[in-house]
């Protein structure tokens, strides 16, 4: 199961010129047969929204096994402290630390930051750090895996 707990937001001072303040990342919940996982915990001011949406799923904060941090910016990991029992998964020193779940793959996707990672689960890619401006794409980056594979196939023909 994959559920978006918060879809992310950007407050613009001047949208035409991409001048913005207060970006907040998406927050995604993944439940596998073995684990309960959060991909990015968004900004601290989104705490109530995230808790409320977990409650709707009947998931308690203490039940989260892993937080996968797409990269080390506070608008992506501002609520990590809510999940005291969770192991933090991030890219560091050339590897992904201590993560085991056969239903989830984590891939290194540098670009926005050197330590950016994305998550593949079932037919979806969760890539909160891939595109971060509303003018370029939607607020949250969850793609059907099939569209990613088609894109890669088309790129290899060029």
**Nearest C-alpha neighbor of 71 from the set 32, 43, 112:** 112
Q: Rg of the Cα trace of the chain?
A: 16
CA–CA separation, 30 vs 32, rounded Å?
7
Query: Under 8 Å CB-to-CB from 21, ≥6 apart: which residues?
Result: 11, 12, 13
Share of the chain above pLDDT 70, in %: 78
Model confidence, pTM: 0.78
* pLDDT value at residue 20: 66
How much helix, strand and coil, in percent to the nearest 5, is found in the chain?
25, 35, 40
pLDDT reading at 25 higher than 70: yes
Q: What is the DSSP letter of 86?
A: P
The band of 155, judged by pLDDT with boundaries at 50, 70 and 90, is very low
Strand residues in 58-150 grouped as ranges (E): 66-68, 87-89, 91-92, 95-96, 104-108, 117-121, 124-126, 142-144
Helix, strand, or coil (residue 154)? helix
Delineate the domains of the chain, giving CATH numbers in brackets: 2-157 (3.60.15.10)
Other C-beta atoms closer than 10 Å to the C-beta of 58 total 7
Place of tokens 């439940």: 31
Helix, strand, or coil (residue 11)? strand
* pLDDT value at residue 158: 44
pLDDT reading at 40 higher than 60: yes
End-to-end CA gap in the chain: 35
């Amino acid at each position: 199961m994959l559920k978006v707990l918060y879809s992310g937001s950007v407050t613009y001072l001047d949208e035409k010129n991409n001048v913005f303040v207060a970006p907040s990342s998406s927050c995604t919940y993944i439940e596998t047969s073995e684990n309960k996982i959060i991909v990015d915990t968004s900004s601290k001011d989104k705490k109530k929204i995230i808790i409320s949406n977990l409650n709707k799923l009947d998931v308690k904060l203490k039940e989260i096994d892993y937080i996968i941090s797409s990269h080390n910016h506070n608008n992506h990991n501002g609520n990590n402290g809510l999940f005291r029992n969770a192991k933090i998964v991030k890219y560091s020193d050339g590897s992904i630390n201590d993560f085991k779940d056969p239903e989830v793959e984590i891939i290194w996707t540098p670009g926005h930051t050197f330590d950016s990672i994305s998550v593949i689960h079932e037919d979806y890619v969760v890539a909160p750090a891939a595109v971060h401006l509303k003018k370029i794409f939607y607020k949250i980056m969850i793609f059907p895996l099939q569209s990613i594979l088609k894109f890669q196939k088309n790129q290899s023909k060029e």
